[in-house]
Amino acid sequence: MTGMSETTGPEENAVAAAPTTPQEWRGFLERYGEQYLKNAADEDELDDLLDEDQLDALEREERVELWLGEAPAREEAVAASEERLGVRFPPTLRGFFLASDGWTHLDTWVDGVHPCGRVSWMRDSDAGRRVIETYASIPGNEDDVQLFRRSLEIARGEDFWLLDPTDVGPDGEWAAYEFAPKYGDTTKYPSFSALFYSEYESMDDDGDDDED
């Protein structure tokens, strides 16, 4: 609920296993696609995600590789986005873009990760501006409003993924937040990578529950 923001921390295992380099991201994102496919029980979604050969292989219970990302961004494209925004992206975000310039499916209330050319300050996106205006109109939201105004919007759907360039760890990573406007909750992670990995862990847990 608006005006009742709560910030919580990440699980330790999400930090330990979070990918950093483009090579680590590539392997992780391939595993993510496999897990997403296991959770995609909706037949219509499977038809959208897979071609005919993949659907046949899935029916035969064979391993199907599913890449939900894009082609890697060129270093020049990442640098141009950084220049446009006036920052240098933290290491795990750079590694992600150099492995996949965006991500199209997340098993959450976020539609996907923006390609580097669409990353913006939350205050500059239409949806972000509306949220900031709403929160600013209600007393007691000053800390949230300041966070939103200074943060990069990395992903958006019903919820937002944000990175705070003023909260930098010793490894150069920015604090990351998953923000749910519907409930007014912000969940903090030490990096973009840790946030993404936590999403994977949540999806993996859902898959285990389904098997039980």
Which domains, and CATH codes, for the chain? Answer: 7-211 (3.40.1580.10)
Q: Are 66 and 36 in contact (CB under 8 A)?
A: yes
Q: Are 186 and 4 in contact (CB under 8 A)?
A: no
- Kindly provide the b/e burial profile for residues 109-131, where b requires at least 16 CB atoms within 10 angstroms of the residue's own CB: ebebbbbbeebbbbeebeebeeb
Calpha distance 67→58 (Å, rounded): 15
The 10 Å Cβ neighbour count of residue 91 is 17
- Digit-by-digit pLDDT tens for the chain (212 residues) are 344 445 555 544 445 568 999 999 999 999 888 888 777 655 566 766 666 776 666 667 666 677 788 999 999 999 999 999 999 999 999 999 999 999 988 867 888 899 999 999 999 999 999 999 999 999 999 999 999 999 999 999 999 999 999 999 999 999 999 999 988 889 999 999 999 999 888 876 654 545 54
For 146, residues 6+ apart whose C-beta sits below 8 A from its C-beta are: none
Single-letter amino acid, residue 78: V
Handedness of CA 133, 139, 142, 143 (dihedral sign): negative
pLDDT computed for residue 34 by the predictor: 83
| C-alpha torsion angle, residues 45, 50, 52, 55 (rounded to 10) | -80
The 10 Å Cβ neighbour count of residue 42 is 10
The 10 Å Cβ neighbour count of residue 208 is 9
Q: Are 154 and 189 in contact (CB under 8 A)?
A: no
Calpha distance 50→34 (Å, rounded): 12
pLDDT computed for residue 107 by the predictor: 65
Record the pTM.
0.83
Handedness of CA 202, 208, 210, 212 (dihedral sign): negative
